[in-house]
Structure 1
Amino acid sequence: MADESPKEVAEASTSNPPSDTESPSSDPTPSTSTPQPSEAQTRLDRFKALQARQKASRSANLKETKTEQTRQATDPALLTQLERRRATASHKLLKAETADFERKRAWDWTAEEAAAWDRRLEKKARHRDDVGFADYTQQARKVYKRQLRDVPPDVAAYEKQKKEAIERAAASGGLEIVETEDGELIAVDRDGSFYSTAESTEFVNSKPEKAAVDRLVDDIRKAEAARMKKRRERGLEDDTGGDVTYINQKNKQFNDKLARFYNKYTSDIRESFERGTAI
């Protein structure tokens, strides 16, 4: 190294520059990608989400439980009674403060609505007066009306059967269809065999549908259930068909009470009377 000239040293330094003087373009670029979360961090986030859902569910359940407990602790009959009293008091107060209250209140209804309401009140009063037993004819009428309400008539099926019967009668010649001047069709019964009379027996050929038979069976079962319910209410379900020692239900209850307390003392006397050996 001592033998080298200064010129050679300068050339060597020029041909091999130091590494820190290299151009910036040759430096490696730093990485800009974000680090991926680890599996433990992902599981921790899911666990926190589940904890939040559990807390929200507990709060909702607690709120609903308190609401249900409050509702069950409140008597609905008492609430209805209080609401009815409040409505009655409001009505009376408004009636006392307003002159000609009934006439002004009627302004809110039409004439048809007022007439329908009057008919409804009249019907309600008539039904209220018709609750008691009058005679067996009226009782049968009430049962018949109740059955009509429970089993509404099938008007569509009736019209269909009527149309088919008219067509059959017209085809057989027993019924004549006459057209009037106005274009209206009138059915004329020539021999009097189409329309039913007191002597007609055509109804025996009618075969009811299965649905109608089932409806009749259900009605009979309901009537039997109602009869047995009334019988149980009167205390007649324990009748064994023995000797009748009472004249009505009150007397039967009194006799049962006496038997419960005194049978152990009077059993020998009664048996002696039955054997005919009593003195």
Structure 2
Amino acid sequence: KGLLITWVQEDLRKREERAEVMDERRGRIINASSPYSDSEEESDSDESKIMAAKRYLNRDRNKPAADEEKTAEGGFTKFTGRQARLFELKLKFNEARKANQTAMDADIRRKEAPASSRENSRGVSTQEWLEQRKRKIGKLLEANGLDTSRAYMLDTQEAAEAKYKKRAKEPAPFGWEVFNQRTLYGAYKRRAEKIEVDLEEYNRMKEADPEFYRGASSLQYGTAPKISEDKIERMVKELKDQEEKRKSFSRRRRFHDEKDVDSINHRNEHFNSKIERAYGKYTLDIKNNLERGTAL
């Protein structure tokens, strides 16, 4: 590797000397090596010279490689097939060096920037990206005639499945969270999965009644097919099981030290929690006024 670098440097020096002689003879500048030096700063003229050298190499690339030297028109320096390939490798080395330097400078600027204005992988700050996303979602909702509460309808199937999987990994709810809509819907699904469906009886009843699916003008309202006794017993059993489950359900709740104490015993605490769940958002302002002494 060291011999190769020495050979390339010696070849570049010789070509510089030949270019200077030809410059003096013909009155024009042809310097094919200076644009590809390892200096840190390069001007626009250097870039143009690089492009000229690339055009020359691309012109001779399709020619058969030979060990003898090929002379370019206009007095350009001489290259063999191997020298041309080495020269092209040097061009790629310089391009990689420039790309690494640019990436390093960008990384330094990103680390030195404050956290609030630090740019993410998209090239914009997090706050700006959130604002752009909010405006984009607002336009989509307006175009589809939806409000912000129905923004979930814009999610794709893949995004919705990812959200469901994430929710499944969340810990079980506690306290007042056991009565939210998500938990109640989960309880409904568990009860619905236990329902036994008899498709044969369903189809038989549908064929026997011409107005099985009644419309608004039907005269059969107030009438219903007779339900078998075993189904009634199954429904009663399910209701009793739910009642027994509620009575037997008991677990020790997590105690929060920062929570305000407004009860005298465990039974009173349980009663207050139910009252708070129903009327807490309405009595919050009254409680705050009483504590500040500004109720009257």
Name which one, 1 or 2, has greater alpha-carbon Rg: 1
Which TM class, normalised by the smaller chain length? under 0.3
RCO comparison, higher one (Cα < 8 Å, 6+): 2
